[in-house]
A and B are shown apart, each in its own frame.
Chain A
Amino acid sequence: MTDLATPHRDSTRPDLSADRLKRRYRAETRFRIYGIAAIATALLMLAFLLGSITHKGVGAFIQTEISLTVSLDTAEIDPDGTRNRETLAKANYRKIIRNALRERFPDVSGRRNTRELTKIISSGADLTLRNHVIENPDQVGTEQTLWFKTSADIDQLNKGNTPRDVPEADRRVSDKQIAWFDSLNAARDIRSSFNTTFFTAGASSEPEQAGIWGAVVGTALTLVVTLILSFPIGVMSAVYLEEFAPKNRWTDLIEVNINNLAAVPSIVFGLLGLAVFLNFFGLPRSAPLVGGLVLALMTLPTVIIAARAAMSSVPPSIREAALGVGASPLQTVTHHVLPLAMPGILTGTIIGMARALGETAPLLMIGMVAFIVDIPRGFTDAATVLPVQVYLWADASERAFEERTSAAIMVLLAFLILMNLAAVILRRRFERRW
């Protein structure tokens, strides 16, 4: 017998295996680092995205205001002395504010300077004053010190977003306006307060008067339609496919079709909505009804797939037990399978609705991009939704709108986080593992 167990090594040759091993271990470390780097890159992008939007958007929740002493002259506002609402509403409040500003800065003269001066106040200030007077008719004839919104440009100046050291022609506020602002600021006549307008107003071409309420209402109306249609149809369809459908080519076709529908680009659903709902059925443009219909068709596959997954995870023994005690197949489903699968179905529905909430492209196709100032009041009123509002504002060039776009995105993301959180909680608390 030869001695095979003894390692035979030629001592004159260098030992390469140690080197090779080192190299292999280094390759191993490198590979690991690639993996960590990939995850880190993705997470950094996420952090950068959310960070930059938050950074840009927080400013929009604050609005700069100016304190002005306005004289509510009886002859100007209420010449008949009746304190009648309609008379009060018709007065020229713009003039009153202009006069108040002139009094505040008596040394300003000339048309151009006066116009520049009035531009530091929001053009919606006369409405604010009008509403104040209508609510407090007894103050007519007195002098009142009130807070008015500044124009968006002065607001940006106050927030430090307008650089002061660039040439006058390159910024949206003039040197004079800066001087006026500084003197007001020194006199403590400038304050920053919470921007309620942003949450209560509809769209506007003036940034300081623009809000997201119209878009929020439009979103709510649209999603109600989506939910009312996609949830029952989706669940019924899943019940049929999972519990009743015979295994044949027709059922296969429906299945393949649903899977493919889930991957059709959303804009194609918009084209469908335009061609079928608007042009064929003649439904109104820009309406939450049509938006909801389109989004319902888009969400349907998600709901069906989730509902089927939830129902197929209910063990067959439950069905057999129900059938065994004499329940009909439909009773088995409605009394046992569906209630047990409901948490999963609801989770899938919420996730589908969250996708619908963030969807923009199909709604552009059916005209939900119109500039709509009024708050929609019904399913057929012209409306817009939150993501489309973001799209519209992102197009505006002013810095103030960029701020509001970011803020609207923050609100949108907050809604999405809430919905996803609800889905996660639902899954954790109620989903059973068999």
Chain B
Amino acid sequence: MTMNTLILIVVLLGLSTLAYQYGRRKALSSVAGNHGALHSLPSYHGVYLALWCGFPALLIVLVWLMFQTSLIETLVLADLAGTTAALSDGQISLLLSDIRNLASGDITSGAPDPLTRAAADRYVELQDLGFTLVIAATLVLTASGFILGQRAISPTLRARPKVERIVGWLLLIASIVAIITTIGIVLSLLFESIRFFERVSVFEFIFGISWSPQTALRADQVGASGAFGAIPVFAGTLLITLIAMVVAVPIGLMAAIYMAEYASPATRAVVKPLLEILAGIPTVVYGFFAALTIGPALRGWGEFIGLDVASESALAAGLVMGVMIIPFVSSLSDDVINAVPQSLRDGSYALGATQSETIRQVILPASLHGIVGAILLAVSRAIGETMIVVMAAGLSANLTANPLEAVTSVTVQIVTLLVGDQEFDSAKTLAAFALGLVLFLVTLALNIIALRVVRKYREEYD
């Protein structure tokens, strides 16, 4: 089906190209090749006609692609209304996925019963029907667009302003995509979180100290309800972030100071890109490194000096995350330190201060705002980091401040709750969205504060 859609889109684009050529020629021939007699350049006439031809048709295809599945599924389910009335939401979604698989010719769970098979046939039928309708609609639109558009082509047609107005709208729409993304994030997180909080109270979620979301298969099983107190999860995130910052802030800050104040341009040119490699390495690589190299090594050293270190300790994840964060702290602080006016340094030297005294007593206080902003950004980065903790930190919630024990984090829980097949409506999966909402809000707040702090600082010296 995708292949066909792709072909349809290519055909539409081809038709638009032809329309472009035709429009250009027609404009030129309407003035017998005399450019000056046209209001707009011939190519604008071409684009004008191409837009008439392709734009509405492509819009139809896009809308079809977006709503096809939900539309067909609603129709198929409406047919099955008699049998599905008795089913729960989970069973319906299972049935639907069976129908979908059967329709696309894949293997289903067990032998399909005739009802499912019939529904699948209906599904394919609707899909084909829909696609035929779309083809018909697009062709009609293209043809009528062509006829309408080419009739308008004349030497006096103001093709350029018309085309430019449409392009202007497209530019505006493109810039709104970012806004739509944010709205999409907020709405999807909020919507699912509200459904979660219908089952679990907000109070329990934020202040509860027991987290075990694994809901049981049978209702009479022990601990079947699951516990959704997120304090241990938040505490784990904080512990790992704290360890990461203890590593990253001193190293990153000292590296930035050295690079900005002491290093020769040649050293800078070599060291700066090398440090930035640390930021470019995919986080899954750090995760692998933490889980298979640092974790066992820490455990070994712990045994050597008689400490009991968990193999998935917070320390391993935190240390490696700290290394990953170093370049964030260093490059942001580097910018900030460089922005301190030279006159402050000169003044300090004139009073007889050494370079390190100047740095500690003049430059650092002067750039404190910026450094705090950099650290806040780094903290937000550490809180949202996923792969290192998924691979190197623990899965079970553990309320502890001991870095040698295994703790879990918000991102780990989101991943473990959502990876794997399960029905979408259980409190377990919805809990992941509630955690995601918390994560989003906290990082957003940190970013806004950090950007504000940095901006305020910049204004001071501009």
Contacts and interface: CB of A to CB of B under 8 A. Distances in A.
Interface stretch (B134-142, B207-215, B282-290): B282-290
Interface string A395-434: 0000000100110010011001000100000000000000
Interface string A235-270: 011011100110000000110011111011111110
B66 interface: yes
A365 B418 contact: yes
B313 interface: no
A3 B179 CA distance: 76
A93 interface: no
A85 interface: no
B262 interface: yes
B177 A264 contact: no
Contacts of B381: 263
Interface in B209-259: 250-255, 257-259
Given A272-B181, A358-B284, A416-B280, A394 B291 contact: yes
B277 A46 contact: yes
A34 interface: yes
Contacts of B419: 364-365, 367, 369
A409 B288 contact: yes
A323 interface: no
A369 B387 CA distance: 13
Interface stretch (A36-44, A119-127, A137-145, A165-173): A36-44
A359 B73 contact: no
B174 A237 contact: yes
A28 B433 contact: no
Given A32-B262, A267-B384, A358-B283, A24 B289 contact: no
B178 A304 contact: yes
A361 B179 contact: no
B361 to A, nearest CB: 12
A378 interface: yes
Interface residues of B, number: 92
A280 B184 CA distance: 11
B451 A259 contact: yes
B317 interface: no
A388 B326 CA distance: 24
Interface stretch (B10-18, B19-27, B125-133, B441-449): B441-449
B70 A35 contact: no
A178 interface: no
A233 interface: yes
A193 B171 CA distance: 55
A391 B391 contact: yes
A35 B262 contact: yes
A388 B282 CA distance: 11
Given A38-B254, A257-B178, A360-B284, A25 B2 contact: no
Interface string B255-295: 10111001000000001001101101111111111011100
B372 interface: no
B355 A237 contact: no
B458 interface: no
A328 B160 CA distance: 9
A27 interface: yes
A360 B283 contact: yes
Nearest to B69: A282
Interface residues of A, number: 88
Interface in A346-393: 354, 357-361, 364-365, 367, 369, 378-380, 387-388, 390-391
A146 to B, nearest CB: 35
B288 A237 contact: no
B201 interface: no
Q: Is the interface of B mostly helix, strand, loop or mixed?
A: helix
Nearest to A285: B421
A394 B160 contact: no
B281 A413 contact: yes
Give the interface centre of A36, A260, A282 by most chain B CB atoms within 10 Å. A282
Interface stretch (B78-86, B111-119, B188-196, B395-403): B188-196
B292 A263 contact: no
B323 A45 contact: yes
B44 to A, nearest CB: 10
Interface in B161-202: 164, 167-168, 170-172, 174-179, 181-182, 184-185, 188-189, 191-192
Contact of B387 (A30, A391, A402): A391
B175 A413 contact: no
A53 B167 CA distance: 49
B312 interface: no
Interface in A1-37: 24-25, 27-28, 30-32, 34-37
B436 interface: yes
A330 B167 contact: yes
Contact of A275 (B192, B258, B275, B439): B192
Contacts of A357: 282
B51 interface: no
B55 interface: no
Interface in B358-383: 359-360, 377, 380-381, 383
B251 A38 contact: yes
B271 A43 contact: yes
Contact of A378 (B2, B178, B251, B447): B2
B439 A265 contact: yes
A34 B259 CA distance: 12
A52 interface: yes
Contact of A283 (B69, B182, B386, B439): B69
Contacts of A232: 174
B333 to A, nearest CB: 11
A301 B282 contact: no
Given A31-B356, A359-B282, A412-B282, A267 B178 contact: no
Contacts of A42: 251-252, 255, 275, 278, 323, 326-327, 330
Given A24-B357, A240-B171, A361-B415, A263 B277 contact: no
Contacts of B323: 42, 45, 49
B443 A265 contact: yes
Interface string A133-154: 0000000000000000000000
Interface string B332-371: 0000000000000000000000111101100000000000
A367 B354 CA distance: 58
Contacts of B164: 328, 330
Contact of A39 (B2, B67, B192, B259): B259
Nearest to B415: A364
B282 A416 contact: yes
Contact of A279 (B3, B185, B254, B424): B424
B2 A379 contact: yes
B322 to A, nearest CB: 9
Contacts of A257: 178-179, 182
A264 B275 contact: no
Interface of A: 24-25, 27-28, 30-32, 34-39, 41-43, 45-46, 49, 52-53, 232-234, 236-237, 239-241, 244-245, 253-254, 257-261, 263-269, 271-272, 274-276, 279-283, 289, 297, 300-301, 304, 328, 330, 354, 357-361, 364-365, 367, 369, 378-380, 387-388, 390-391, 394, 402, 405-406, 409, 412-413, 416, 420
10 contacts: A32-B258, A39-B259, A236-B174, A260-B444, A268-B436, A358-B280, A358-B285, A367-B419, A409-B285, A413-B281
Given A42-B326, A257-B178, 6 more contacts: A32-B258, A35-B258, A38-B255, A259-B451, A268-B440, A361-B411
Instruction: List the 9 closest pairs (A to B, CB-CB), nearest first.
Output: A265-B384, A35-B258, A358-B282, A282-B69, A38-B254, A275-B188, A236-B174, A31-B356, A361-B386
Interface of B: 2-3, 66-67, 69-70, 73, 160, 164, 167-168, 170-172, 174-179, 181-182, 184-185, 188-189, 191-192, 250-255, 257-259, 262, 271, 274-275, 277-278, 280-289, 291-293, 323, 326-327, 330, 354-357, 359-360, 377, 380-381, 383-387, 390-391, 411, 414-415, 418-419, 424, 432-433, 436, 439-440, 443-444, 447-448, 451
